[in-house]
Chains A and B, each alone.
Chain A
Amino acid sequence: MENDIIYIDVQKELVSAYGRMQLKIQTSIPVGELVVLFGESGAGKTTILRMIAGLTSPDKGIIKVGNSVWYSSNDRINMPPQQRNIGFVFQDYALFPNMAVFKNVAYGQKYKDKTFIDELLHNFGLTEFANRKPEKLSGGQKQRVALARALARKPQFLLLDEPLSALDAGIRTALQNEILKAHSIYKATTMLVSHDLAEVFRLAQKVMLIDNGKAKGFGRPDDVFINNQISGKVQIAGTIVKIQKQDTFYLLTVVTGMNQIIKVTAYENDIADLTEGDKVMVFSKAFNPLVMKIGN
Chain B
Amino acid sequence: MPTPFIQTLILTAKLAVYTTSILLIIGLPLSYFMAYSRFRFKPVLEALVSMPLVLPPSVIGYYILVAYSPNFWFGRLLSQWFDVHLAFTFEGILLASVVFSLPFMVQPLTNGLRAVPVSLREASYTLGKSKTTTFFRVLLPGIKPSLITAIALTFAHCIGEFGIILMVGGNMPGETRVASIAIYDEVQALNFDMANQYAFTLFIISFVILTLIYTIHRRSDSWKMI
| Chain A contact residues, CB within 8 Å of chain B | 53-55, 80-84, 86-88, 90-98, 107-108, 110, 134-135, 142, 149-150, 152-153
Contact = CB atoms under 8 A, between A and B. Distances in A.
A92 B126 contact: no
Interface of B: 117, 119-120, 122-130, 137-138, 141-142, 224-226
24 contacts: A53-B126, A54-B126, A55-B126, A81-B125, A81-B126, A82-B130, A87-B126, A88-B122, A90-B119, A91-B119, A92-B117, A92-B225, A94-B119, A98-B142, A107-B129, A108-B127, A110-B128, A134-B226, A135-B224, A135-B226, A142-B226, A149-B127, A153-B127, A153-B128
Contacts of A107: 124, 127, 129, 137
Nearest to B121: A94
Contacts of A54: 125-126
A54 to B, nearest CB: 8
Contacts of A94: 117, 119-120, 122-123
A82 B226 contact: no
A173 B121 CA distance: 29
B191 to A, nearest CB: 51
A55 B122 CA distance: 7
A95 B226 contact: yes
A22 B224 CA distance: 35
Contacts of A92: 117, 119, 225
Given A55-B125, A96-B138, 15 more contacts: A55-B122, A80-B125, A81-B122, A82-B125, A82-B129, A84-B126, A95-B226, A98-B138, A107-B124, A107-B129, A108-B129, A135-B224, A149-B123, A149-B127, A150-B126
Contacts of A97: 142, 224, 226
A90 B130 contact: no
A116 to B, nearest CB: 14
A135 B129 CA distance: 23
A108 B128 contact: yes
A272 B137 CA distance: 68
Contacts of A86: 126
Contacts, number: 68
B129 A88 contact: no
A139 B223 CA distance: 18
A83 B128 CA distance: 6
Contacts of B138: 96, 98
A1 B203 CA distance: 76
A50 to B, nearest CB: 8
A135 B127 CA distance: 21
B120 to A, nearest CB: 5
A90 B125 CA distance: 13
List 9 tightest A-B contacts by C-beta distance, closest first. A108-B127, A98-B141, A94-B119, A88-B126, A94-B123, A81-B125, A90-B119, A135-B226, A134-B226
Nearest to A136: B226
A137 B119 CA distance: 19
A86 B120 CA distance: 16
A90, A97, A134, A152, most chain B CB atoms within 10 A: A97
Nearest to B122: A55
Nearest to B126: A88
B122, B138, B226, most chain A CB atoms within 10 A: B226
A53 to B, nearest CB: 6
A73 B122 CA distance: 22
Nearest to A152: B127
Contact of B128 (A82, A90, A98): A82
Contacts of B127: 107-108, 149-150, 152-153
A221 to B, nearest CB: 27
A149 B129 CA distance: 13
A108 B124 CA distance: 8
Given A108-B128, A135-B226, A90 B122 contact: yes
Nearest to A149: B127
A94 B129 CA distance: 15
A95 B142 CA distance: 11
Contacts of A82: 125-126, 128-130
Nearest to A96: B138
Contacts of B119: 90-92, 94
Contact of B120 (A87, A96, A142): A96
Given A96-B138, A110-B128, A90 B226 contact: no
A71 to B, nearest CB: 15
Contacts of A108: 127-129
Contacts of B126: 53-55, 81-82, 84, 86-88, 150
